Amino acid sequence: MIKVGLIGCGFMGGMHAACYAALEELGVKVVAVADVRPEFAQKLANGAEIYATGMELIEKADVDTVDICLPTHLHTAHAVAAMKAGKNVFVEKPVCFNDDEMDLLLKTEKETGAKVQVGQVVRLFNEYAWLKKVVDSGEYGKVVHGEFRRLSNLPTWAWENWLHQPEKSGGVAVDMHVHDVDYVRYIMGEPDTVKAHAYRDADGVIQQINATYGYGKDVCIALEAGWNYPADFPFTADWRVMFEKATVVLSGGVVTVYPVEGGSFNPEIAAEFEGTNDIGGNVSSLGGYYNELKYFVEGLQGKNDMSIAPISDAIESVKLAKREIEAAGGLIVK
Ligand SMILES: NC(=O)c1ccc[n+]([C@@H]2O[C@H](COP(=O)([O-])OP(=O)(O)OC[C@H]3O[C@@H](n4cnc5c(N)ncnc54)[C@H](O)[C@@H]3O)[C@@H](O)[C@H]2O)c1
């Protein structure tokens, strides 16, 4: 039995707790939870031991694995402490924000031999996993152009409003946009050129970012993220990719293939797990979260090589998101 200590029982902690409950028959259980807000820890405990802080859990709880769903600026200290205490670690994205944290994470992972995965969940959403296979197989030829979008209304749930303090979260250009930045790196590799523009609020904080990545002399991928949409605006995550022989589109959760010669169709993309978690926030489908934690648990059990979302890759994705921020003029511009 893999014994998990869940640190941070806010929005993402709730998603992870629901996924571990669904995965129990694989041999995994949340046996300890920690949150500085006791009522949040209590809500997710379901019989697990409760700790007042993440560090206390790492020090005292009888767990072999720690799952970190803390605000981003607290990831590194907790991940490093957990690895040094001999635990395996799952840590939410973005793995970290500051450059000095990147080396420390990599060094500690190497020194301790801990098994670590980062919550780059988009890599494990069924439609995105399908697109990765289509790109790798070359069945529609090479990618000619692509566009990836992620739009949301303002996230309001965060503890002490940490999400809207860009030095803690990286703001929308890292926190939300890193999903697509990481995914585009995953399927296309590191871009040769990066251009970006930002729309900022009155305090100079980025609320929307539009970027283009250049590959070679004529392939362009456009990426867009914004979290300042009106209250009723539906959460939107979609893409359109033109290949030499077909264009593929994800829109409204449905994938359509448009072959050059006509005859469009919806490919069968089987979801391994369907489930929702009505805990508020801008994502409710458990599918990708279930997939990523199942992959992590099976990795710990030696059933896969845990190569989908390693720390090293997650760090490169944060670096690329920061390249965009730099290209757009900086994190905060008054
Ligand atoms: N993969 C995704 O789709 C996705 C979506 C949302 C958030 N996230 C990521 O998940 C992480 C958490 O975000 P969230 O939205 O759940 O934030 P949140 O504010 O809802 O939850 C964070 C929780 O941590 C608790 N906390 C703070 N300091 C603590 C400490 N020292 N010890 C124990 N608990 C402490 C807070 O009380 C809060 O309950 C972030 O890195 C965020 O970027 C990922």
Residue boundaries of the structural domains of the chain: 2-119, 122-272+310-327
Backbone phi, psi, residue 132, to 5°: -60, -45
Tokens of 49: 């031991």
**Residue 53 alpha carbon, nearest atom of ligand 1:** 32
The superfamily CATH assigns to domain 2-119 is: NAD(P)-binding Rossmann-like Domain (3.40.50.720)
CA distance 316 to 155: 25
Q: Report the candidate in 24, 29, 51, 28 with the shortest Cα–Cα distance to residue 40.
A: 51
**Residue 41 alpha carbon, nearest atom of ligand 1:** 39
What's the gap in Å between 138 CA and the centre of ligand 1?
Answer: 38
| CATH fold of 122-272+310-327 | Dihydrodipicolinate Reductase; domain 2 (3.30.360)
Pocket test for ligand 1, best of 70, 78, 178, 283 (most atoms within 8 A of CB): 70
Whether 101 is in the pocket of ligand 1, judged by its Cβ within 6 Å, is no
- Alpha-carbon dihedral 120, 126, 128, 131, rounded to 10 degrees: 140
Q: Coil, strand, or helix at residue 75?
A: helix
Whether 243 is in the pocket of ligand 1, judged by its Cβ within 6 Å, is no
pTM recorded for the entire structure = 0.96
Q: What is the pLDDT along the chain (334 residues), one digit of tens a residue?
A: 999 999 999 999 999 999 999 999 999 999 999 999 999 999 999 999 999 999 999 999 999 999 999 999 999 999 999 999 999 999 999 999 999 999 999 999 999 999 999 999 999 999 999 999 999 999 999 999 999 999 999 999 999 999 999 999 999 999 999 999 999 999 999 999 999 999 999 999 999 999 999 999 999 999 999 999 999 999 999 999 999 999 999 999 999 999 999 999 999 997 766 666 665 555 556 889 999 999 999 999 999 999 999 999 999 999 999 999 999 999 999 8
Q: Which residues of 96-127 are buried (b: 16+ CB within 10 A; e: fewer)?
A: bbeeebbeebeebbeebebbbbbbbbbbbbbb
Q: Report the candidate in 273, 288, 312 with the shortest Cα–Cα distance to residue 117.
A: 312
Q: Are 224 and 210 in contact (CB under 8 A)?
A: yes
Pocket test for ligand 1, best of 35, 74, 165, 168 (most atoms within 8 A of CB): 35
CA distance 320 to 178: 9
**Residue 159 alpha carbon, nearest atom of ligand 1:** 19
**Residue 37 alpha carbon, nearest atom of ligand 1:** 37
CA distance 287 to 133: 18
Amino acid symbol at 122: V
Q: Report the candidate in 70, 89, 64 with the shortest Cα–Cα distance to residue 79.
A: 89
Whether 36 is in the pocket of ligand 1, judged by its Cβ within 6 Å, is yes
* pLDDT tens by residue, 234-257: 999 999 999 999 999 999 999 999
